[in-house]
Amino acid sequence: MMTTLTIALSKGRIFDETLPLLAAAGVVPAEDPERSRKLILGTNRADTRIVLVRATDVPTYVQYGAADLGIAGKDVLAEHGGEGLYQPLDLGIARCRMMVAVRAGFDYDAAVRRGARIKVATKYVGTAREHFASKGMHVDLIKLYGSMELAPLVGLADAIVDLVSTGSTLKANDLVAVEHIADISARLVVNQAALKLKHERVQPLIEAFGRASRADAATQASQAGKRRARS
């Protein structure tokens, strides 16, 4: 009997950065999700398929076993809580930082010192609540679903909690990062039942992903070393 393996991925950067890892595990999607409207993609392997879901929904599909495994950012996993998920690998892809940012003119440190009650807009309500609670700050959290950068510009909030990679979006909107909350990268997540029941299918994939992401990290480290040596 053939056991089908279902992998949940989100379109965009997670999909793109996962392709080399999948290839290293011998899995090649049959279609480019940017050119197709299909939500279920076949692969070169008859027993392996990919389901395309929103980034925030990946942990939910895997938790309930609708997908056996998936790839999700730590940002998404922190909000989800990780219930029912085995997280064997940090893949080191889709790297960015979770930051607090404010308008360039807003004196965040002074507001913190004064114990001011600031308004914070974010998609990451759980992460933000935990961060400000750990600093003993009282904040009003405003839940948004995207384009957080707009909120301080139109007076919806004093600050945002958002992902930052190059900082160019903040800069373009006259915002500055004032606090680092966490380094973010994507993790492999596996349904706990699938890990046991489909072990002979899941384990080789975990191992191939692990080897490929470690090789990738080693290449990046040596390139960074060469850059340092040149400069």
Shortest separation between residue 39's beta carbon and ligand ATP, angstroms: 13
Please name which of 215, 185, 198 lies closest in space to residue 21, comparing C-alpha atoms: 215
Where does this chain bind ligand ATP (CB under 6 A)?
Answer: 10, 12-14, 54-56, 73, 75-76, 94-96, 146, 163, 165, 184, 186
Closer residue to ligand ATP in complex, CB, 109/183: 183
Closer residue to ligand ATP in complex, CB, 55/194: 55
Q: How many CB atoms lie within 10 A of CB 91?
A: 22
Shortest separation between residue 80's beta carbon and ligand ATP, angstroms: 11
Number of residue whose CB is nearest ligand ATP = 73
Q: How many CA atoms lie within 13 A of 25 on its CB side?
A: 22
Closer residue to ligand ATP in complex, CB, 41/118: 41
> Which tokens is 87 given?
């997280």
Closer residue to ligand ATP in complex, CB, 100/118: 100
Task: Determine whether 142 is exposed, middle or buried from the number of CB atoms within 10 Å of its CB (0-12, 13-18, 19+).
Answer: middle
Shortest separation between residue 113's beta carbon and ligand ATP, angstroms: 31
Shortest separation between residue 94's beta carbon and ligand ATP, angstroms: 4
Q: Which sign, positive or negative, has the C-alpha torsion 144, 148, 154, 158?
A: positive
What are the Cα distances from residue 8, in Å, to 12, 23, 103, 219?
Answer: 13, 16, 37, 27
Closer residue to ligand ATP in complex, CB, 118/148: 148
